[in-house]
Amino acid sequence: MCTGIKLRNMSGIPRRPFLRGPILGADCDPVLNGTDQCADPNAACGVLSEQKEFCNNVCWCTDGFVIDIQDNCGGTCVPQKTYSEVCDPSIRDICAPVDTLECSVNGTEFVCDCLTGFVYNGTECVRPDLYYNDTCTCEDICLPPETVVCNSTTGKCDCREGFIYNATSGQCERPPGDGIDLGDPCLAAVSCGQYPNVKCEFPDTQGTGKKNKVCQCDDDKDFCEVDGVCVLSASPCP
């Protein structure tokens, strides 16, 4: 019987049976009996949107706990594990967060480890920063995304269409003359020729008097215009 147990009356005072409450997955009523009526102390009564098989209020594990099916009495809520902790692969979602961790074999034991495609940064499992020529998958984001994208054919981060790799700067850039010229109106720097060594900003009104944003060498990154080309300069732009 999984619905409750009866305590012996040692004091002679009439005592009601001590009911454990509904087991995990069993119906419950949070309005009449509250949310903490469940048999398992780490469970609560409520509607579980993520459990599609349940349409009504049931007892289920609270955040940070998952169900360990041990017997026909509904199982027990056990705490989830974090990175490098020993885990039980038979318990679904035992490692948390579930979107970056999994319970995998490590030598002679199972431990929580990063999912494929993630690396541990000392705090959490994250997707590594990928740059030009790094190995990638379609789900990865190559940096910077405005100029670099994962090439599904080569499986490498490659320059976007309209950009070429500049070995000197180590960046994918628009070639001079490709895109909006320096001094011309623009809406975003990515549309300017020689991007990303340019910026799209309002010019010095005292110098040109123009009211629109224009393509100009990014002096914030020490790029100066020399004969129509943005050149990295060791000294401030004139």
How high is the pLDDT of residue 198? 87
pLDDT of residue 66: 92
Over residues 62-79, the pLDDT tens digits come to: 999 999 986 555 688 999
Please say whether the beta carbons of 113 and 101 come within 8 A: yes
In the listed set 49, 79, 109, which residue is the last one of a domain according to the structure? Answer: 79
Domain enclosing residue 59, as ranges: 1-9+16-79
Q: Is residue 24 part of a domain?
A: yes
Which stretches of the chain drop beneath a pLDDT of 50? 1-19, 51-52, 206
User: Within a domain: residue 43?
Assistant: yes
pLDDT at 52: 46
Q: What is this structure's pTM?
A: 0.55
- Does residue 94 belong to any structural domain of this protein? no
147, part of any domain: no
The domain total for the chain is 2
Question: Which letter does DSSP use for residue 219 in this model?
Answer: G
User: pLDDT tens digit string along 217-231?
Assistant: 888 888 888 888 888
Residue 156 forms part of a structural domain: no
**pLDDT value for 73:** 59
Domain-embedded: residue 188:
yes
Task: Specify the DSSP element, H or E, that contains 60.
Answer: strand 58-61
72 in a structural domain? yes
Q: Is residue 144 assigned to a domain?
A: no
> In angstroms, what CA-CA distances link 14 with 9, 21, 117?
7, 20, 62
Most distant CA pair in the chain: distance in Å?
102
